[in-house]
Structure 1
Amino acid sequence: MELERVDPTLRDAVTRMRGVGIERRLGRAIGRVAPRLVRFPRTPGVRIASARVGGVRVRTYQPARSRTDAVLLWVHGGGMLIGAPHIDDQLCTETADRLGLRIVSVDYRLAPEHPFPAPLDDCARVWTGLVERGERRIAIGGQSAGAGLAAALAQRLLDEGGQQPIAQLLLCPMLDDRTAADTARDGEEHLVWDNRSNRLGWRSFLGLEPGAATVPAHAVPARRADLAGLPPAWIGVGDIDLFHDEDVAYAERLRAAGVDVDLVIVPGAPHGFESIAADAELSRTHRAAAQAWLATRI
């Protein structure tokens, strides 16, 4: 993909992301430590705190005034390999403030040191902890790999029975290891997150090569045969994102299974643009659309 295909208002921010690689251990170490040391932009008036829910570390966002009894269980991105809840401070404080919504962001364990099911187990433990403390209306969501984990959590909870999420908010979700197995995509310049990085992420998470004949249940959301009964979903992705095809396919399969889905495709937008170029009008509009949809569900 050529840089010229990127929306002009996003190009500067996207260009700065070039050269940020996770192939080497040093790159992954920086991607894990740096987010905890950098202060990301925040919406004033939202209280941020660290806590434990279900025995798992979380980062909480409490708006000055709650306008709903619902809570959003959020999962950060990073290809299963890097990242921390801190990277979503801007998105989470903005959402908490705009909707009057409490948010709990999971500080899940990362691959390859902690492959599947450890990251998903952490999300599930936070879910259980929220339920046990009396939360009855819980939405789930995330960005990129975190959105993939949120989708997997929805599937796992459906199979386990009991309390179910009221909605799933999925920003550019990482849903299908078979994309990574398609080496023909390696030659395409998908900015921010390309297929080589994608293959490393899936390999590290699954503990096997992407595209294997079988994968563990709940490890790869797009591999699930029956999507009926899952909660309403909002899926947003750029049309030049590596995950575009798998996200559209998942949305179409959800609809075919009778699930209420809003699919938003943004022209000229690469992976994670809504955070990387957070101040661009295109990004603000995209986040507002996601938040407006969530507001109708909480």
Structure 2
Amino acid sequence: MSLNFQPAPVDPAVLSARLEFLDGYEAQLKGSLQWNQCESAAEYRRMRREGLNGFPKPVLNPKARTTTISARDGHRIELRIISPSQQQSKGVWLHFHAGGFVIGSNASYDPYLTTLSDRLGFTMVSVEYRLAPENPFPKPLHDCVDAALYSLTPEGQEMLGAPLKILGGESAGGWLAVSTGLSLKRDHGLNVRSILDAIVTGYGIYDMTYTPSLLEHKRDIILSKQGMMDFVDAGFAHIPMTERKNPLVSPLYADLKGMPPALFLTGAIEPLVDDSVFMAARWFSAGNQTELCVVEGACHAFTIIRMGEATEDGINRIVSFVEKYIGTATRQTS
């Protein structure tokens, strides 16, 4: 058992181009409207869907299909399904979108999910979990866990066309992927290592009391220090700071034994880089297969928002990791 740390070295000229791009992108976004400057979070979400606040309108995959399932409280959860176009599905990748628990949707990142689906042969199923501040913790997590439980039923497998194999997400979705896996083990008694091939996270947050990289972060490329804290307050303000090291809130402090292989992917210019580094170290220390990849010259959301060559680098590393662990859940129980 070893912790595979991939520093992801890049050619100096390539790194220089990445850094120049980020400088320009930061300048371009300076002063852009934030969700908490709108009359409501719902209004900001509408503007993002329509491409009205500095970000392009989401590009949708016309072949995506949707279904709805019931949450534990009767709420209807929409699942957006993107199937591989050229091969039979190898399994379901249950995806939890980015957005700080406040913004985004299961239709926000179709191009990214389509790329992964076609390259890996997985059915990507993105969960429309409820958002804060209207629906703070634990409702978003409950929706994601309920979607995972549904996908493990015979009905769910038939509807989605393949068995659940991967949990994955970016930013807040990284927290949801890890927390969903932990809940399946802790709250539902499932042997997740025998069920899941992997958990794949991108630049997630795992400590709601904040890591040094967030507290010391100075830049504002997609996500700033204050922006992250505003997102956390929207979803977790009802939990006092003194109680946020509870493993249900901050999975960095959870019992991580018996978890499947995990990739913790992050950019080096990232307020949450320590979250990935610390979580990877704890995941490994708990006896789990672990890969940590820190991409130089990459910032928050670099795999889901097009940022030139750095985006391709990040996606290639996801593909490489998943290809390594496809089918490992079955082998671990044999």
Report the TM-score, using the length of structure 1 for normalisation.
Answer: 0.87
Say whether 1:148 aligns with 2:169: no
Q: 1:219 aligns with which of 237, 243, 249?
A: 249
Q: 2:184 aligns with which of 157, 170, 174?
A: 157
Letter in 2 for 1:284: E
Instruction: Provide the C-alpha distance between the structure 2 equivalents of 1:35 and 1:222, rounded to a whole number of angstroms.
Output: 31
Aligned match of 1:18: 30
Deviations 1:115-163 (A, max 9, x none): 1110001111111111112354421000100111111111111112225
Letter in 2 for 1:223: Y
Letter in 2 for 1:51: T
Q: 1:172 aligns with which of 203, 209, 219?
A: 203
What is the CA-CA distance between 1:66 and the residue it aligns to? 3.4
Residues 137-146 or 207-216, more deviating: 207-216
Structure 1: runs of 5 or more not aligned: none
Say whether 1:232 aligns with 2:261: yes
Deviations 1:23-66 (A, max 9, x none): 323473354224444553467xx821222134411211012233
Aligned match of 2:139: 118
Q: Following superposition of structure 1 onto structure 2, how do residues 236-255 of structure 1 map, counting pairs within 5 Å?
A: 236-255=265-284
Say whether 1:47 aligns with 2:63: yes
SS at match of 1:74: strand
SS at match of 1:287: helix
Aligned length: 290
Say whether 1:282 aligns with 2:310: yes
Say whether 1:191 aligns with 2:203: no
Structure 2: runs of 5 or more not aligned: 1-15, 52-56, 71-75, 327-334
Q: Residues 80 and 238 from structure 1, CA distance in 2 versus in 1: closer, same or farther, beyond 3 angstroms?
A: same
Instruction: Provide the C-alpha distance between the structure 1 equivalents of 2:268 and 2:213, rounded to a whole number of angstroms.
Output: 18
Contact 1:36 1:86 in 2 (8 A): no
Aligned match of 1:206: 236
What is the CA-CA distance between 1:183 and the residue it aligns to? 8.8
Instruction: Provide the C-alpha distance between the structure 2 equivalents of 1:183 and 1:86, rounded to a whole number of angstroms.
Output: 28
Say whether 1:90 aligns with 2:111: yes
Letter in 1 for 2:58: F
Residues 68-77 or 12-21, more deviating: 12-21
Considering only CA atoms, is the larger Rg found in Structure 1 or Structure 2?
2
Instruction: Provide the C-alpha distance between the structure 2 equivalents of 1:209 and 1:194, rounded to a whole number of angstroms.
Output: 22
Report the TM-score, using the length of structure 2 for normalisation.
Answer: 0.78
Residues 193-202 or 176-185, more deviating: 176-185
Instruction: Provide the C-alpha distance between the structure 1 equivalents of 2:133 and 2:40, rounded to a whole number of angstroms.
Output: 14
Contact 2:209 2:245 in 1 (8 A): no
Q: Residues 189 and 262 from structure 1, CA distance in 2 versus in 1: closer, same or farther, beyond 3 angstroms?
A: same
Identity among equivalent pairs (%): 25
Contact 2:144 2:180 in 1 (8 A): yes
Q: 2:82 aligns with which of 40, 61, 80?
A: 61
Residues 150-159 or 53-62, more deviating: 53-62
Contact 1:13 1:277 in 2 (8 A): no
What is the CA-CA distance between 1:282 and the residue it aligns to? 1.6
Residues 154-163 or 96-105, more deviating: 154-163
Letter in 2 for 1:24: Q
Letter in 1 for 2:285: A
Q: Residues 206 and 184 from structure 1, CA distance in 2 versus in 1: closer, same or farther, beyond 3 angstroms?
A: closer
